[in-house]
Amino acid sequence: MRRMLPLLLLLGLLGLAYALGWHQALSWPALAARRMALQDAVAARPVAAALAYVALYGAAVAVSVPGAVVITVAGGLLFGTALGAALAVAGATIGAVLVFLVARSAAGPFLAARAGPWLERLRPEMERDGFHYLLALRLIPVLPFWLVNLAPALLGMRLAPFALATFLGIIPGTAVFASIGAGVGHVLDAGDTPDLSLILSPPVLLPLLALAALSLLPPLWKRWKSRHGRV
């Protein structure tokens, strides 16, 4: 039971979040309704507001409550592009590390035993080159954020490369969403939903794809050298 306590606490927080309706608060109408009050709070106590924002973001990621994009855009709206992106990256990294630690300390053996042999086949590569693979997944988030938090823990990846790859990998996308938030006030006031398709536009998506490809070059080069040496 002691080993399962972190997982039980996380599940308890998730249940509490849904019971209190926190997931509904992470929406565009809710952000529009509270925009002026939030901006006043940031102006009155900027340091406390920044710390509260990081804590909220970390908690949302840790319990996998939908709405992380809304929080990221809100960061740009409340703190500006640069500071908003930095705070969002810090919160998301903290939340991801919490999920990673819970999976490693409590649920890891239980989940790994039920994930099937395919997971074990990935373990050697993740232990050897996990940083590069995870960095690519963070740059191009083709898988759910919560799944990318869990899988490395189950595959035996170390905490330091996990945290570093997460921190570096989410910076570009987070900066894009924060920049959208910096100019989204009039959109919310009009009752409209922000257009997040900018992340899929060629000027943004192509550099992200190029960075992801570059992050995979070291393990691919290592594999090519290994095969070439056997010939």
pTM above 0.85, yes or no: no
Packing angle, helices 68-79 and 28-44, rounded to 10: 40
Spans in the chain with pLDDT lower than 50? 231
Burial 175-199 (b: 16+ CB within 10 A, else e): bbbbbbbbebeebbeeeeebeeeee
Q: In the structure, how many helices (H) and strands (E) does the chain have?
A: 13, 0
**What was the pLDDT predicted at 178?**
93
- Residue 79 Cα distances to 46, 61, 114, angstroms: 9, 20, 43
Every domain of the chain and the residues it spans: 5-221
User: Quick count: other Cβ atoms within 10 Å of Cβ 18?
Assistant: 13
Task: Quote the tokens at residue 54.
Answer: 């990081």
CA geometry: angle at 136 spanning 130 and 142, to 5°?
115
**What was the pLDDT predicted at 80?**
94
CB 61 within 8 A of CB 71: no
**What was the pLDDT predicted at 202?**
84
Residue 163 and residue 16: Cα distance in Å, rounded?
Answer: 27
**What was the pLDDT predicted at 231?**
45
**What was the pLDDT predicted at 74?**
94
